[in-house]
DNA sequence: ATGACGGTGTGGCACCGA
């Protein structure tokens, strides 16, 4: 029985919960990583998700950030944030999913945006990426069957941006960010989306402003990385643009991987 | 160079995102 794992930055779970429930009803993936909950743990909609067939592990925060893992299967050994990094921002949640096909480790991250090279926020982004790398390395050693999902806030390559030349060196497009992405791959991970032939100009985020989506001025910054142990079982990966056409959409749209 | 759009907060706009 195939298994599906998805990631979606929903830019406020308070606003987007109905869309998440609708999407899950139409696409009953096994696991969904959410980013930018923008709510505290006491406001997390545990009951509504349970009714929809999902249990949840979450790390909330007021106004900003916040991540969750939703799963149709039991979750255990939850780790919140990066143990090696002093960080007040809620950006990472990891858990083991006990699927009928065996245990799977899933790490869900809302990577730092970084604003612009040279700023304090960019320095924080690089520190955070370093700490994430260390943590993923440790998780991989303990759990060979691992998936890293999330809003990476990095375009891995020029083809992942609507304007790679005009935006070269700007945020999401710097050499440093792309080197960090490559360093994650070097741990023994593959970008599931690029394991398959894909349409040109495929993106997962479009600016709300200036008719970004209508003009397909977007970036592919939401990713699913699969470990070497899982790579051969990946049968598909796609971006679901449909939710971006909803009324009151998130600026991101889901990415889904299928394991055979 | 700036702001455009959208979410949040205790606001009358500012901050942040990407």
What is the number of domains present in chain A? 1
Which of A58, A188, A76, A75 lies closest to A133 in space, CA to CA? A188
- The domain that contains A244 carries what CATH number? 3.60.10.10
Helices (H), A155-227: 175-186
Q: How many residues does chain A have?
A: 260
Domain that holds residue A238: 3-259
Helices marked H in A105-169 = 120-142
pLDDT of residue A248: 95
Q: Please, how many CA atoms are within 13 Å of residue A182, restricted to the half-sphere of its CB?
A: 7
What token pair was written down for A73? 């299967």
**Distance from residue A93's CA to nucleotide B3's C1', rounded to whole Å:** 35
Question: What pLDDT was estimated at residue A94?
Answer: 98
Which nucleotide across the nucleic acid strands is nearest to A208, CA versus C1'?
B5
The predicted pLDDT at position A184 comes to: 98
Q: Which nucleotides of B are covered by protein (CB under 7 A)?
A: 3-9, 16-18
Q: Return the bridge partners of A138, or none.
A: none
Q: Which residue is nearest to nucleotide B9 (CA to C1')?
A: A63
Footprint of strand B on the protein (CB under 7 A): A 9, 11-12, 14-15, 36, 38-39, 62-64, 112-113, 115-116, 121, 151, 153, 171-172, 205, 207-210, 219, 221, 248, 251-252
Known catalytic residues of A?
110, 151
Q: What is the pLDDT of residue A1?
A: 81
- From the CA of A101 to the C1' of B9: give the distance in Å: 45
- pLDDT attached to residue A245: 96
**What pLDDT score was predicted for residue A178?**
98
Per-residue confidence (pLDDT) for residue A230, from 0 to 100: 98
Per-residue pLDDT of chain A (260 residues; tens, 9 = 90+): 899 999 999 999 999 999 999 999 999 999 999 999 999 999 999 999 999 999 999 999 999 999 999 999 999 999 999 999 999 999 999 999 999 989 999 999 999 999 999 999 999 999 999 999 999 999 999 999 999 999 999 999 999 999 999 999 999 999 999 999 999 999 999 999 999 999 999 999 999 999 999 999 999 999 999 999 999 999 999 999 999 999 999 999 999 999 99
The pLDDT score that the predictor gives to residue A220 is: 98
Q: Residue A101: what pLDDT?
A: 87
Q: How far is the CA of A205 from the C1' of B5 (A)?
A: 14
């Amino acid at each position: 029985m195939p298994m599906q794992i998805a990631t979606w930055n929903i830019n406020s779970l308070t606003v987007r919960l109905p869309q998440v429930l609708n999407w899950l009803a139409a696409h009953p993936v096994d696991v969904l990583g959410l980013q930018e909950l923008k709510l505290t743990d006491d406001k997390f909609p545990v009951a509504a998700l349970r009714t929809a067939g999902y249990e949840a592990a979450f790390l909330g925060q007021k106004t900003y950030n916040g991540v969750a893992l939703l799963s149709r299967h039991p979750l255990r050994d939850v780790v919140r944030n990066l143990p090696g990094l002093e960080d007040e921002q809620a950006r990472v949640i990891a858990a083991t999913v006990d699927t009928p096909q065996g245990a799977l480790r899933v790490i869900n991250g809302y990577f730092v945006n970084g604003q612009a090279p040279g700023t304090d926020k960019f320095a924080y982004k690089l520190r955070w990426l370093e700490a994430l790398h260390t943590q993923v390395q440790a998780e991989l050693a303990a759990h060979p069957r691992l998936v890293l999902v999330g809003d990476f806030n990095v375009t891995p390559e020029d083809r992942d941006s609507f304007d790679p030349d005009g935006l070269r060196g700007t945020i999401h497009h710097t050499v440093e960010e792309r080197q960090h992405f490559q360093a994650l791959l070097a741990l023994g991970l593959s970008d599931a989306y690029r394991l398959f032939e894909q349409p040109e100009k495929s993106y997962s985020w479009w600016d709300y402003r200036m008719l970004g989506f209508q003009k397909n001025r977007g970036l592919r910054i939401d990713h699913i990385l699969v470990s070497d142990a899982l790579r051969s079982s990946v049968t598909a990966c796609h971006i679901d643009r449909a939710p971006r056409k909803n009324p009151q959409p998130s600026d991101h749209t889901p990415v889904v991987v299928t394991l055979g």
